[in-house]
C-alpha cells in the first residue's frame, strides 16, 4: 500500500529543514548543502589557487550535503593552513563564516548562535547556492 503525501506533509518536512534563528544548534547538528550546478563545477581536481569559498562549494558539490564538522575537516585536508587564528580551535565557525559570506555582515569573532541567526536571515548563498540546514 502506497502512502500518499499531501502538500501539508511536504511543507512540514521542508519547514523542519530550515534553520530556526533562535534554535540551539551545535556544529554537529548542521549540514551544508548546495543544489547549484555551476558550469565549471565538474572540473577535475581541486585547484588550491581557487578562492576558499569556491573550494568549499566544490567539496560540497562532489560529496553531497556534509555535516559541518566533516566539511571543516575536509577543507583543512584539501587546503592545509587555510583555517587560521582565531578559528584554529573551532574550524567549523570558519566554514560557517565562509558559507555566510560578506553579505551576512557578521561582526568580528561572531559566535555560533550569531552566525546561525545571520544565516537564517539571509538564506541560501546567491553565488554558490550554499545553504546550512539542521541535520
pLDDT tens digit sequence for 96-129: 999 999 999 999 889 999 999 999 999 889 989 9
Q: What is the pLDDT, as a whole number, of residue 31?
A: 97
pLDDT, position 14: 45
Q: How far apart are CA 97 and CA 107, in angstroms?
A: 10
Q: Where are the alpha helices (DSSP H) in the chain?
A: 7-16, 52-63, 68-78, 91-100, 112-122
Domain ranges of the chain: 7-134
Which secondary structure element, helix H or strand E, spans residue 132, and what is its range? strand 131-134
pLDDT digit string, tens, across residues 25-48: 999 999 999 988 876 655 555 666
Q: pTM of the entire structure?
A: 0.81
3-state helix, strand, coil in the chain (%, to 5): 45, 5, 50
Amino acid at each position: 500500500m502506497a502512502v500518499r503525501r499531501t502538500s501539508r506533509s511536504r511543507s512540514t518536512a521542508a519547514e523542519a529543514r530550515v534553520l530556526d534563528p533562535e534554535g540551539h544548534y551545535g556544529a554537529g547538528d548542521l549540514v551544508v548543502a548546495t543544489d547549484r550546478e555551476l558550469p565549471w563545477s565538474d572540473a577535475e581536481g581541486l585547484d588550491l589557487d581557487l578562492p576558499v569559498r569556491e573550494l568549499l562549494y566544490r567539496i560540497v558539490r562532489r560529496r553531497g550535503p556534509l555535516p559541518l564538522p566533516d566539511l571543516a575537516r575536509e577543507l583543512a585536508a584539501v587546503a592545509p593552513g587555510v583555517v587560521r587564528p582565531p578559528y584554529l580551535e573551532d574550524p567549523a565557525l570558519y566554514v560557517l563564516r565562509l558559507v555566510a559570506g560578506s553579505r551576512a555582515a557578521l561582526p568580528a569573532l561572531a559566535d555560533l548562535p550569531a552566525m546561525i541567526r545571520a544565516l537564517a536571515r539571509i538564506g541560501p548563498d546567491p553565488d554558490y547556492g550554499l545553504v546550512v540546514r539542521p541535520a
